[in-house]
Chains A and B, each alone.
Chain A
């Protein structure tokens, strides 16, 4: 059984290149003709996760893994961390900087959106050290086509 793993670097506060890792993941799945709806859910999660690093984090990385019946997106960053994860999960709660808000980000929908679109989500944070968000999507066959 083949498995595909890729690592993408995410640079903090780089709003110009923000989203490129997610676009790359998306194009990869498109060339395998995965279901557009599934690709879109994955893209939304990966983009929100990537933006969290750009907005709040120190530098980080996005790890893509496709294995057996699942695709996993893991986002790790060395940022300030999340003090209260259940609070951060509430729609509209945001600690984004004014800079990010002026650019149209930081509406407090990132984590709720990720939770809504992923089949499984796991968030761990050690404030001041690192945050790790892992999102899993179950696929019906390794090719992702029903």
Chain B
């Protein structure tokens, strides 16, 4: 029997599942169904927010990232470091963390500071110019959190035009590495592996070159939590010894400013952007609530929204190792110690901006196509049928049928993906008379969510 399978962002370990159904209710896109009591199935609506991983006390759900193995063995290992990593180690300076990574086998450790700084500058530049030319509608929405962008593509397609069209910091960082570091190794015929050290689930399929062509070098995502135990030991060893200062090849292989760690905190992206009319919202629930409000025309006076689906921002990423509040306290310490110095002159970034170096690699429209086909449109007749079913079920949202709530169950029935008899609480008269789609539905105020 197959007891483990991965689908997109999530890996499910069937033998550990207790059937508690906690994951059902927390999924924002209602992508989870439970079949046969202890087996979850993901309909293909997963946006990789990690809410189910957090909710699963049995450890049956994890990210589809790989545990670190044989780093640097037979290949050149390049680490793309999320600043969340620094916040995991209260006693270590970022340079110690990067050195620890090198001791683990990474040849290059790429810090995100410069790329975050450039992104923030470019974002502010776009907003400033947008005041004059109104190229995009207000409020603009930060593209930094990938789960937010996928949530918008899936649930709020009308807001895709609001997503700031500036290349994300991670993409800026990866492009720089691909242009400046990888070619020289490939010229020597050496295999390169890019490791993304992430606080959140990431899907391997996204790592394709232009036009979906496979890349020459390999790309791997590692959860910070998987990296933590080994790295922690190495950092302890470094701290107890006088650290041998390792030579660096590129200016972005060190971290001198606390700005990057600040960006990992909720509100940190806008904090150093100098955009007056901006707002930061974090947590899945509030993110959805505010997206709904923006869609209903609220906040036309706000210029920029920073959204993070994780509480406390990326520091609360589901794959981080230490608790978000401890991590926050560590960032505060970094702020006191290192300050917020900038390294790249504004003129340099503005020059790159005018050359189009910050144009996003994919337009929002590609995301519409990506999610648009996943849930075929329901007809008005089917909507009426759903209302009819909602009149016959108890409406308690018990989840015994395996769907997260009654409206989703009714929709599954209408789509032919579930049987009406799957409901344990059909009103007695309905138990042997399935509702038919022929009769028009009656209004029922309780049938909403």
Report if A9-B296 is in contact (Cβ < 8 Å); known contacts: A3-B440, A32-B377, A39-B158: no
Contact B383 A32 (CB under 8 A): yes
Contact B449 A24 (CB under 8 A): yes
Q: Does B295 contact A (CB under 8 A)?
A: yes
Chain A window 29-52, contacts with chain B (Cβ cutoff 8 Å), 1 for yes, 0 for no: 011110011011001100110000
Contact A6 B379 (CB under 8 A): no
Q: Chain A: which residue is nearest B372 at the CB level?
A: A33
From B295, B411, B441, B443, contact of A31 by CB (8 A): B411
Contact A47 B296 (CB under 8 A): yes
Give the residues in chain A near B292, CB-CB below 8 Å. Answer: 19, 23, 26
CA distance A63 to B378 in the complex (A): 21
Chain B window 146-179, contacts with chain A (Cβ cutoff 8 Å), 1 for yes, 0 for no: 0000000001011000000000000000000000
A4, A43, A145 — which one has the most chain B CB atoms within 10 A of its CB?
A4
From A4, A30, A32, A113, contact of B297 by CB (8 A): A113
Give the residues in chain A near B377, CB-CB below 8 Å. Answer: 31-33, 143, 145
From A9, A19, A26, A32, contact of B379 by CB (8 A): A32
Chain B window 101-120, contacts with chain A (Cβ cutoff 8 Å), 1 for yes, 0 for no: 00000000000000000000
Q: Does B387 contact A (CB under 8 A)?
A: yes
Contact A26 B295 (CB under 8 A): yes
Contact B384 A2 (CB under 8 A): yes
Q: Does A96 contact B (CB under 8 A)?
A: no
CA distance A36 to B380 in the complex (A): 17
Contact B444 A143 (CB under 8 A): no
Contact B445 A8 (CB under 8 A): yes
Contact B449 A4 (CB under 8 A): no
Q: How many residues of B contact A (CB 8 A)?
A: 29
Report if A4-B296 is in contact (Cβ < 8 Å); known contacts: A31-B375, A31-B377, A39-B158: no
Give the residues in chain B near A22, CB-CB below 8 Å. Answer: 296
Give the residues in chain B near A23, CB-CB below 8 Å. Answer: 292, 296
Give the residues in chain A near B447, CB-CB below 8 Å. Answer: 6
Q: Does A28 contact B (CB under 8 A)?
A: yes
CA distance A20 to B378 in the complex (A): 22
Q: Does A85 contact B (CB under 8 A)?
A: no
Q: Does A118 contact B (CB under 8 A)?
A: no
Contact A5 B296 (CB under 8 A): no
CA distance A44 to B294 in the complex (A): 10
Q: Kindly provide the distance from the CB of B248 to the nearest chain A CB, expressed in whole angstroms.
A: 48
- Give chain B interface residues in 434-449, CB to chain A under 8 Å: 440-445, 447-449
From B155, B295, B442, B445, contact of A9 by CB (8 A): B445
Q: Chain B: which residue is nearest A3 at the CB level?
A: B440
- Give chain A interface residues in 1-17, CB to chain B under 8 Å: 2-9
Q: Kindly provide the distance from the CB of A14 to the nearest chain B CB, expressed in whole angstroms.
A: 14
Q: Kindly provide the distance from the CB of B432 to the nearest chain A CB, expressed in whole angstroms.
A: 25
B157, B297, B384 — which one has the most chain A CB atoms within 10 A of its CB?
B297
CA distance A99 to B142 in the complex (A): 32
Contact A8 B448 (CB under 8 A): yes
Give the residues in chain B near A28, CB-CB below 8 Å. Answer: 383
- Give chain B interface residues in 357-411, CB to chain A under 8 Å: 372, 375, 377-381, 383-384, 387, 411
Report if A40-B158 is in contact (Cβ < 8 Å); known contacts: A2-B381, A19-B292: yes
CA distance A44 to B296 in the complex (A): 5
Give the residues in chain A near B411, CB-CB below 8 Å. Answer: 31
CA distance A143 to B380 in the complex (A): 6
Q: Kindly provide the distance from the CB of A128 to the nearest chain B CB, expressed in whole angstroms.
A: 26
Contact B444 A6 (CB under 8 A): yes
Q: Kindly provide the distance from the CB of A70 to the nearest chain B CB, expressed in whole angstroms.
A: 12
Q: Kindly provide the distance from the CB of B79 to the nearest chain A CB, expressed in whole angstroms.
A: 40
Q: Chain B: which residue is nearest A44 at the CB level?
A: B297
Contact A20 B296 (CB under 8 A): no
Give the residues in chain A near B384, CB-CB below 8 Å. Answer: 2-4
Give the residues in chain B near A82, CB-CB below 8 Å. Answer: none
Contact B296 A19 (CB under 8 A): yes
Q: Does A21 contact B (CB under 8 A)?
A: yes
Contact B440 A36 (CB under 8 A): no
Q: Kindly provide the distance from the CB of A44 to the nearest chain B CB, expressed in whole angstroms.
A: 4
Q: Does B293 contact A (CB under 8 A)?
A: yes
Give the residues in chain A near B372, CB-CB below 8 Å. Answer: 33
From B157, B378, B443, B444, contact of A32 by CB (8 A): B378
- Give chain A interface residues in 63-107, CB to chain B under 8 Å: 63, 66
User: Which are the 4 A-B pairs with shortest beta-carbon distances?
Assistant: A33-B377, A36-B158, A7-B443, A47-B296
Question: Could you list which residues of chain B lie within 8 angstroms of chain A, going by C-beta atoms?
Answer: 155, 157-158, 292-293, 295-298, 372, 375, 377-381, 383-384, 387, 411, 440-445, 447-449
Q: Could you pull out 8 A-B pairs where Cβ atoms are within 8 angstroms?
A: A5-B441, A5-B442, A19-B293, A19-B296, A31-B377, A31-B383, A32-B378, A47-B296
Question: Could you list which residues of chain A lie within 8 angstroms of chain B, going by C-beta atoms?
Answer: 2-9, 19-24, 26, 28, 30-33, 36-37, 39-40, 43-44, 47-48, 61, 63, 66, 113, 142-143, 145
- Known contacts A31-B378, A32-B379; can you find 11 more A-B pairs with CB under 8 A? A2-B379, A5-B440, A5-B443, A6-B444, A9-B445, A19-B293, A31-B375, A44-B297, A48-B297, A66-B380, A142-B380
